[in-house]
Amino acid sequence: MLNPVRDLDNNKIKNSCQKISNGVKLKYMTIAKIIDQTFLKKGATDDEIKNVCEETKKYGFRGLCVFPEYTKLAKELLKDSGIKLTTLIDEPTGTSSHKKRIEMVKKAKTDGSDEVDVVMKIDDFKNGKYDEVLKDLKEICQILPTKVIIGSGYLTDEEIKKASEIVKEAGAICIKTATLEDPLDRSELSEKAKHVRIMRESAPGILVKAAGSIRTLSDLKMMIDAGADIIGTSSGVEIVKEATGEEGEMIEEWRKVE
């Protein structure tokens, strides 16, 4: 069954991506609306959460992705902004039990998360336990709109195809490349772009999110050209500044995670 809300969001994102891919003069709002700004720092202070939320509102990003412990505060700070709050679940490879994963997603919903980025149970998938992976994701997808991280850097091309098919069957709104501890580094972005193309071809009709070492405007455009609808990055501000001609600065190492 079609989801009118998801389809509307889909169309807005795809229109923005088309403008970027076609080389239309970039405006920061066009780019910002396809970026999920990411803040994944353990032990962050309330002031740091406040700062990243203010930054997210200032630049008008599509969303903000945080660890579960920061969801409640971030939701309060983003209230009435229209920005989607996403909670990252079970990083880096989805090793928690199914029961624990369900508890984490339900807690994220209670704390105000609009979406979850959930890591697929990668070990189970690699061991051919496809039915278990599908069952786990199906239940999660019934709780909140779900973007599933397949960890494409751990998978072969054929496994990426299979994982994409499972994610779509599970009812997720989006399939995502990676999160923390992504095996692919900046020197392998062309490989990540190949993964995005496989995901796009294998899971038509749902969004594709590219993440991991995407830090510049050219990185973003590479992923959009490959078929990504959403960009997950901790460098959203720097990318927007680059697009508008402002001089960006390199970010601290702890932020270079997506």
The predicted-structure confidence for 136-157, as pLDDT tens digits, reads as follows: 999 999 999 999 999 999 999 9
Active site residue 176: yes
Quick: pLDDT tens for 169-220.
999 999 999 998 888 888 799 999 999 999 999 999 999 999 999 999 999 9
The per-residue pLDDT for 184 is 87
Residue 41: band (very low, low, confident or very high) from pLDDT cuts 50, 70, 90: very high
- Which residue is catalytic, options 33, 162, 176, 192? 176
Catalytic annotation, pick one of 117, 124, 136, 182: 117
Measured distance CA(213)–CA(185) in Å, rounded: 6
Is 25 designated active site? no
Alpha helices in the chain (DSSP H): 4-21, 28-32, 46-59, 71-77, 98-110, 122-126, 130-141, 157-170, 189-202, 217-226, 236-243
42 included as an active-site residue: no
pTM of the complete model: 0.86
Q: Is the pLDDT at 256 greater than 60, yes or no?
A: no
Buried b (16+ CB within 10 A) or exposed e, 145-180: bbbbbbbbbbbeeebbbbbbebbbebbbbbbbbbbb
From the CA atom positions of the chain, what is the Rg in Å?
17
The Cα 6–Cα 68 span in angstroms is: 23
Domain boundaries, the chain: 4-16+27-255
Joined tokens for residue 3: 């989801």
Assign domain 4-16+27-255 to its CATH architecture.
Alpha-Beta Barrel (3.20)
Per-residue CA distances from 138 to 81, 101, 120, 172, 216 (Å): 30, 12, 11, 8, 34
Residue 85 forms beta bridges with which residues? 64
Going by the DSSP 8-state scheme, the letter that residue 36 receives in this structure is E
Question: Nearest 5°: phi and psi at 207?
Answer: -75, 155
pLDDT of the residue at 29 = 57
| Residue 221: HSE in the Cβ half-sphere, 13 Å Cα cutoff | 15
**Catalytic residue of the set 75, 121, 147, 209:** 209
Q: Give the chain's mean pLDDT.
A: 88
What integer is the mean pLDDT of 2-16? Answer: 42
What is the arithmetic mean of pLDDT over 28-35? 84
pLDDT at 252 over 50: no
Residue 4 confidence (pLDDT) above 60: no
